[in-house]
Structure 1
Amino acid sequence: MTAPLRLSVLDLIPVRSGQTSSQAMTASVGLAQLADTLGYTRYWYAEHHNMPSVASTTPPVLIAATAAKTERIRVGSGGVMLPNHAPLVVAEQFAALEALAPGRIDLGIGRAPGSDPVITQLLRISGPTADVDRFPDHIADIQALIHPGGAALRMTSGSEYTVHATPAAASVPTIWLLGSSDYSARLAASHGLPYVFAYHFSGDGIEAALELYRSNYTPSAEHPEPQTFLTLNVSVAPTAEEARRRALPQMRAMARLRTGRPLSVLETVEDSENSGRDTATDELVAAMEKRWVIGAPDAAGQAIRQLASRYGVDEVMVSPISGAFASDPLDATPGRAQTLELLAGELL
């Protein structure tokens, strides 16, 4: 019998035509509750800014709301974009979350901006904490701040000043480093931290990154062995045709992003199918179809297992990108729920 594969969820909280942010967030929390009952391992929110089709701007707020509405599943960030925030603020937020939901909080950290250059400047006006070159130091700061011993600052007088993230939880959140490059893989290895490759964003370089991470890994007390998984865009439906139709709005939105066109809320399936065609969009959509997992349950389950085996991971975090038909309710997400249910039937 094939061993179960751990499945998790990455949520950007998509906002579709005619839907408010409130309705999109209600749908997201409902999806997290479904993932909880189905046996998914973790549910992470991504940090993105100034994108009409994405409502996941504040992972800590969303994590708190979701942890309160779920029972078992781990909840976390995928990720907090650290250069946008002071390390002490991040440490305190996640210490508080760990105190609210002990043993269930993940702190996934990235160094990308999560938005366009203008928004990045607005987020990073806080001075030296926004220095991307100090990213490794800030990771070390957070590691120290969330642990019981805290971090010690050397004062000009020569004395030490101890800083703790408060409230002090009885346990600490698990820190993960996120990335799609050699840089993040090496940093995670040197700090003895788990590492996640953002395959959903770009599959290029995954073999090299994972090899660098595993071969250079420095064991830590919390993580004596390297631990990694990959993220993956997925749309699953009873038929391959429906899965492809539901994936089309997200693929078209990604094509607009990559061609520098104005962003908008997600189209419905019908609007995507009835929109005008152009060569650039069609070529990008065709490329996404090859890398994303889009299909009926058996084929999708087999494809995910093959990817997990190829890259040596025993967990895959799926981003359920199934879009909505015009008749779907605004405060729920039937297509994404269907993806999670059908995958659970195949893999959990």
Structure 2
Amino acid sequence: MSSPALSVLDLVPVREDQSTSDALAASRSLARRADDLGLRRYWVAEHHNMPSVAATNPAVLISMLAAATDRLRVGSGGVMLPNHAPLVVAEQFALLEAAHPGRIDLGIGRAPGSDPVTSWALRTGSGIGPDAVNDFPDHVRHVLAMMSPEGVALDLRGQEYALRATPQARSRPPVWLLGSSDYSARLAAQEGLPYVFAHHFSGQGTAEALALYRESFRPSAHAERPTTFLTVNACVADTAEEAERLARPYLLAMVALRTGQPMRAQASVEKAEAVDLPPAHQQVYDAMRARWVVGDRETARGEVTALAERFGVDEVMIHPVAGEHDGADVTLSAGRTRTLELLAG
């Protein structure tokens, strides 16, 4: 199998020495480099109330990154739809598509992307209501309909009321369903939508979810055949030893998340090296490391190609998980940039 096309997933990480402004500058620089390298997509996540993640508002980030690049498809990986009114999402992405025709992707997820208190503030506090997760299938259909040129017709006491996300749509961004269980795989297949399983986050159940999606897929106006790709955590450096060092800050952050420890801004490589994990946490660390692509250029490229072949995809979305050394330029992400360069070169 030939090397798969490469894309990027960016959570806009925030290091201990960075402000939010610095983290945004680093992601803008990374997107420009991805554009120069000829990568296919650049997606940003939605997470809330996390000291180490600045990706809180995908639509705002997409606007910034699309304006800073020329060719990349820029999108969300993803908008957590239960946090938002469907019309708001449809309006945002209809405008983004109008500003950057043919370059916008709308990835939609069902997870909260936050802790329970923050989820309450986003949903109940905004009037969306506690049933937003249960209403997810209907809300996906509403977004699709409202972004279309025809819009959606509401029945108001026997009279039709046209509702459109934008007045004169000429195109609409493709909608992808995202998930880490078989729920979204079933829904995507039923609605004939492109689908992505969060392999970078879960690492388990990927083959089963993709098989379910492919076997159950119903062709639609959105996709004629099953359409998917793979997401992978990757850290690549000039030597395997350096790649292991650079990956450690991200791995420690994931250990903290999985073991209920307080979340903090990302540590430097040197501080991460000084951390001793208790045996139980080391087991979590080792299990996650085994699912990540970490190594030098030749090894990493071989692993990425093998994963694409294993899961039957021709595109791999890389979540670059390379930390930075003490004293690094706060407006750049040298490790993440080098990961993309070595995989693409």
- Tell me the TM-score range normalised by the shorter chain: over 0.9
Q: Distance in 1 between the 2:293 and 2:281 partners?
A: 19
Q: Is the 8 A contact 2:7 2:42 kept in 1?
A: yes
1:261-281 deviations in Å (ceiling 9; x for gaps): 111000000000012332232
1:146 shift after superposition: 0.4
- Between the aligned partners of 1:211 and 1:3, the Cα distance in structure 2 is 22
CA positional deviation for 1:216: 0.6
Alpha-carbon distance in structure 2 between the residues aligned to 1:169 and 1:248 = 46
Distance (Å, rounded) in 2 between the aligned partners of 1:234 and 1:63: 22
Pairing of 1:161-172 with structure 2 (within 5 A): 161-172=161-172
Within 5 Å, give how 1:112-123 maps onto structure 2.
112-123=111-122
Q: How much has 1:331 moved relative to structure 2?
A: 0.5
The equivalent residue for 2:74 is 75
Query: Is the Cα–Cα contact under 8 Å of residues 2 and 305 in structure 2 kept in the other structure?
Result: no
Give deviations 1:213-257, integer Å, cap 9, x for gaps: 001101012311110011110000011100010000000000001
- Structure 1 alignment gaps of length 5 or more: none
Residue 92 and residue 180 in structure 1: after superposition, are their counterparts in 2 closer, same or farther (change >3 A)? same
Match of 2:314 in 1: 314
Distance (Å, rounded) in 1 between the aligned partners of 2:165 and 2:87? 7
- The answer as to whether partners of 1:249 and 1:267 remain within 8 angstroms in 2 is yes
Find the aligned partners of 1:149 and 1:129 in 2 and give their Cα distance.
30
| Residues 192/325 of structure 1: CA separation in 2 closer, same or farther (3 Å cut) | same
Residue 289 of structure 1 corresponds to: 289
RMSD: 1.1
Distance 2:20 2:167 in 1: 30
Helix, strand or coil: the match of 1:231? Answer: strand
Shift of 1:143: 0.7
Q: How does 1:18-29 map to 2 (within 5 A)?
A: 18-29=17-28
State the match for 1:153 in structure 2. 154
Cα shift readout 1:186-213 (whole Å, capped 9, x = no counterpart): 0000111000010010121111111110
Residue matched to 2:87:
88
Aligned to 1:136: 137
Structure 2 match to 1:61: 60
Other-structure match for 2:179? 179
Out of 51-60 and 216-225, give the one that drifted further.
Answer: 216-225
Q: Structure 1, residues 147-185: CA drift from partner, whole Å, max 9, x if none? A: 1110010012x0110100015332111100000111100
Q: Flag as ranges the 4+ runs of structure 1 deviating above 4 A.
A: none
Which 5+ residue runs of structure 2 have no aligned equivalent? Answer: none
Contact 1:92–1:167 under 8 Å retained in 2: no
Distance 1:170 1:129, change over 3 A: farther
Task: State the alpha-carbon separation in 2 of the partners of residues 129 and 147 from structure 1.
Answer: 28
1:128 deviates by 4.1
Give SS of 2:233's match.
strand
d(CA) in 2 for partners of 1:139, 1:14: 28
Contact kept? 1:47, 1:58, Cα under 8 Å: yes
Which residue pairs with 1:279 in the alignment? 279
Structural mapping, 1:1-348, within 5 Å: 3-125=2-124, 126-128=127-129, 131-156=132-157, 158-345=158-345
Contact 1:96 1:169 (8 Å CA) reproduced: no
Cα distance in 2 for residues equivalent to 1:83 and 1:280: 34
TM score, norm. by length of structure 2: 0.98
For residue 278 of structure 2, what is the amino acid of its counterpart? D
Partners of 1:277 and 1:107 lie apart in 2 by 39
Give the distance between the partners of 1:4 and 1:287, measured in 2 at CA: 26
Matches of 1:183 and 1:88, distance apart in 2: 23
Kindly provide the amino acid, as one letter, of the partner of residue 119 in structure 2.
Answer: T
Which amino acid is the alignment partner of residue 172 of structure 2? V
Map Cα deviations across residues 107-160 of structure 1 (whole Å, 9 max, x no partner). Answer: 00000000100000000011348521110000100110001110010012x011
Alpha-carbon separation, structure 1, partners of 2:207 and 2:123: 33
Contact 2:63 2:96 in 1 (8 A): yes
Percent identity between matched residues is 56
Counterpart amino acid of 1:65?
Answer: M
CA contact (8 A) 2:3 2:305 kept: no
Residue identity in the other structure for 2:236: V
Q: Secondary structure at the match of 2:15?
A: coil
Per-residue deviation, 1:329: 0.5
